[in-house]
Amino acid sequence: MNRKNIILVGCLSLFLVVCSSQKSKSFFRESGSFIYALFKNPTRIGAVAPSSSYLAKAIVKNIEKKDRPLKILEVGAGTGSFTEKIIQKMDQQDLLDVVELDASLCDILRKKFGEHKNVTIHCMSVLDFNADTSYDFIISGLPFNVFASDLVYSIVDKYKRLIKSNGIISYFEYMFAANIKKIFLFGNRKVDFIKNMTILADFRREFLIEKNRVFFNFPPAYAYHLQIKK
């Protein structure tokens, strides 16, 4: 797909996302907060807008009831697009830990979800997060494509340690982003980015069970689901 078509698909996706939003005022308000956080911490936030409800549904699709309370971890929650869909799938006895590094986004998450007694917001890096439990599901909204390869390796390793055997880790990547980014990187930065992508490709090769294409998002994205067998 050439550059012109990529831009066209992206613009169409944004138009559809905005037009389909039933809470347009809330969408634009949270988008403003999100963009502000993006400018403050461009290396921590890799999205250009909050994720759409379509991507959120794709990311949480594998969360299913079990014969015991669910334990769910969400990392990089942003303004809570995924969080909202996760909570809709939970019963009162299920538990959700939400880890978000940016303080302003944590404030939004607490305002939106603070009344849920089974949801805990942790304002910190996932690498500093210590849990006394393991999780059935990990939902990741982290921008792996803007992280250095050693950080990606550390996060993936952390996820593997936090997930239960046969638990599912779900994360997303923007379509075309890797190929476009490689064009504009040179020297050691390009080498590190390729190493970054190799870490994730190896992770998927070992554990991937499902890949979904989500066009109604800006930009369009892939949702990956990996079942970790220990």
Q: Which domain holds residue 55?
A: 3-228
Could you give the CA distance from residue 164 to residue 15 in angstroms, rounded to a whole number?
A: 39
- Per-residue pLDDT, 47: 56
What would the mean pLDDT of 21-48 be, rounded to a whole number? 45
Task: Name every residue whose Cβ is closer than 8 Å to that of residue 213 and which is 6 or more positions away in sequence.
Answer: 175, 220, 222
- Per-residue pLDDT, 60: 98
Q: How many domains does the chain have?
A: 1
Could you give the CA distance from residue 197 to residue 98 in angstroms, rounded to a whole number?
A: 25
What average pLDDT is seen over the chain? 84
Could you give the CA distance from residue 218 to residue 51 in angstroms, rounded to a whole number?
A: 7
**pLDDT tier at 183, thresholds 50, 70, 90:** confident
DSSP assignment string, the chain: --HHHHHHHHHHHHHHHHHH-S-HHHHHHHHHHHHHHHHH-TTT---SSPPPHHHHHHHTTT----SS--EEEEES-TTSHHHHHHHHT--TT-EEEEEE--HHHHHHHHHHHTT-TTEEEEES-GGG---SS-EEEEEE---GGGS-HHHHHHHHHHHHHHEEEEEEEEEEEETTHHHHHHHH--HHHHHHHHHHHHHHHHHHHHHEEEEEEE-SSSS-EEEEEEEE--
- Per-residue pLDDT, 146: 83
Taking 50 as the threshold, does the pLDDT of residue 22 lie above it?
A: no
Token representation of residue 69: 């309370």
Nearest to 102 by CA among 32, 31, 42, 150: 42
What would the mean pLDDT of 41-53 be, rounded to a whole number? 61
Could you give the CA distance from residue 65 to residue 94 in angstroms, rounded to a whole number?
A: 9
Half-sphere exposure of 127 (CA within 13 A, CB side): 9
What would the mean pLDDT of 186-198 be, rounded to a whole number? 93
Task: Say which CATH number the domain at 47 has.
Answer: 3.40.50.150
Could you give the CA distance from residue 9 to residue 2 in angstroms, rounded to a whole number?
A: 11
Percent of the chain whose predicted confidence (pLDDT) is above 90? 65
What would the mean pLDDT of 162-173 be, rounded to a whole number? 97
